[in-house]
Structure 1
Amino acid sequence: MTFFVNRVKKLHLTFAAVALAAASFFAPSAQAQAPLKIGFTSVEYVLSQMPESKQIESDLKAYGTQLESQMKAKQTAFQTKLDDYQKRGGAMTPVVKADTEKELQTMQQGLQEFGQTAQQSLQQKQQALLRPVLDKIQKNIDAVANEQGYTYILNSDSGSNPILLHGPKDGDVSDAILKKMGITPTAPTAAPTVQAPRAAAPIVPAAPAGKTKTKSK
């Protein structure tokens, strides 16, 4: 059973876009008296061009694989216990049967809780890896804005806030930001996927714990 879903096609850029959009748009301008000049950039595009993005993706994939292995081990242990219960349940004494059902339910709950915790853990890992890169992008956005006289720089990625609905091509400073970091812009490519954990719903015992009486034939 698979416990992982495609999560980071955009290389965790929802977080990145939101984190930088507000900072770039609402930051106080040192050129308050100068004519208003607004530019825009795609944080997703800039991040995808940075060499750090591949390492982040690799680290997240490795971490996700580790979580998946732990989940599968727990699922296997649960399934083994459940199979044994289904085969021998009829021959168990009421006390043993009730204890086994209780143990199965505890294991099932543990699986669900692990899935939820794993999701949170991967998100925290993702944010920790992204933070230095986002800081680097922000620093270079500020530098380009100051050098080229931009009052505001918006984020053009969809789903971010604010969203740029229209703008002139010469207002796009994405390549200027990359060049400021010493990166030669290339054609954007689809980001490889990274898998993230989610809670699974394992099979439950056929009989509720401590409620069913066994019938002798």
Structure 2
Amino acid sequence: MKKLHLTFATALLIAGSFFAPSAQAQAPLKIGYTSVEYVLSQMPESKQIESDLKAYGTQLEAQVKSKQGEYQTKLEAYQKGASTMTPVIKADKEKELQTLGQSIQEFSQSAQQSMQQKQQGLLRPVLDKIQKTIDAVATDNGYTYILNSDSGSNPVLLHGPKDGDVSDIILKKMGITPTANAPAAPLTQAPRTTSTVPAAPQKKRK
């Protein structure tokens, strides 16, 4: 399972008032930045999310493989007995295989959507917690804006002084002691459910 760089998580956080305005509009402009990926990787909740996603993905994968096994068994039976089948029975078996193959494809697509929804549902409370802490840190330390420094298709921060990084302050505000050399993102990408289905035999046209 590939490591997730949390681009969608960052987008969710930015969409929900990521910039914390200063309490005093006339106060000097003070800008800080943080890495949402880094903060999330340090949170104990991330390990539970990782575990829950892995278990959920395994269940979906097992269902897909079960359906594929059923398809393969019926396909092999068809191939072995096709030469002795009557035209009516042969056509019926071909239709059954085509319907089953389509069902597997549809289930696999549905499983992918379900996995993404599960992932977003697990991340949402954690991202909300990070957002509230960012707001509190900005208020406590007089920051006008706090930007996101994570890399991605559209990084918010391209350069900034080290003393502007408030990531560890955010963690300490949540009661977490930062760990050196922590992985950028412990969460894994939603596993893809394999849906490779051999082509069903086509009814020959006369």
TM-score of the two chains, using structure 2 as the length reference: 0.91
1:197 CA drift (Å):
2.3
After superposition, the Cα gap between the structure-2 partners of 1:201 and 1:118, relative to the gap in structure 1 and judged at 3 Å, is same
Residue of structure 1 aligned with 2:113, choices 111, 120, 138: 120
Contact 2:108/2:194 (<8 A) preserved: yes
Does residue 76 of the first structure (1) align with residue 69 of the second (2)? yes
1:19 CA drift (Å):
1.4
After superposition, the Cα gap between the structure-2 partners of 1:48 and 1:20, relative to the gap in structure 1 and judged at 3 Å, is same
Partners of 1:113 and 1:165 in 2: CA distance: 42
* Fraction of identical pairs, as percent: 72
SS of the residue corresponding to residue 191 of structure 2 reads: strand
The aligned amino acid for 1:117 is S
**Alignment match, 1:52:** 45
Where structure 2 has 5 or more consecutive residues not aligned to the other structure, the ranges are none
Alignment of 1:98-137 (within 5 A): 98-137=91-130
Q: CA RMSD in A?
A: 1.9
1:38 CA drift (Å):
0.9
Residue of structure 2 aligned with 1:202, choices 188, 197, 202: 197
Equivalenced residues, count: 204
Contact 2:171/2:177 (<8 A) preserved: yes
1:22 CA drift (Å):
3.9
Contact 1:74/1:111 (<8 A) preserved: yes
1:156 CA drift (Å):
0.7
Alignment of 1:177-196 (within 5 A): 177-187=170-180, 188-189=182-183, 191=186, 193=188, 196=191
Contact 1:145/1:153 (<8 A) preserved: yes
Partners of 1:202 and 1:47 in 2: CA distance: 38
Partners of 1:202 and 1:144 in 2: CA distance: 52
SS of the residue corresponding to residue 164 of structure 1 reads: coil
Residue of structure 2 aligned with 1:89, choices 70, 82, 87: 82
1:161 CA drift (Å):
4.8
Partners of 2:14 and 2:159 in 1: CA distance: 16
**Alignment match, 2:56:** 63
Q: Cα deviations across residues 84-134 of structure 1 (Å, max 9, x unaligned)?
A: 011101111111111111110111111111111011000000111111111
Contact 1:14/1:159 (<8 A) preserved: yes
Partners of 2:189 and 2:155 in 1: CA distance: 27
SS of the residue corresponding to residue 196 of structure 1 reads: coil
Q: Cα deviations across residues 128-161 of structure 1 (Å, max 9, x unaligned)?
A: 1111111100010000000111111111111165
Where structure 1 has 5 or more consecutive residues not aligned to the other structure, the ranges are 1-5
Alignment of 1:135-150 (within 5 A): 135-150=128-143
TM-score of the two chains, using structure 1 as the length reference: 0.87
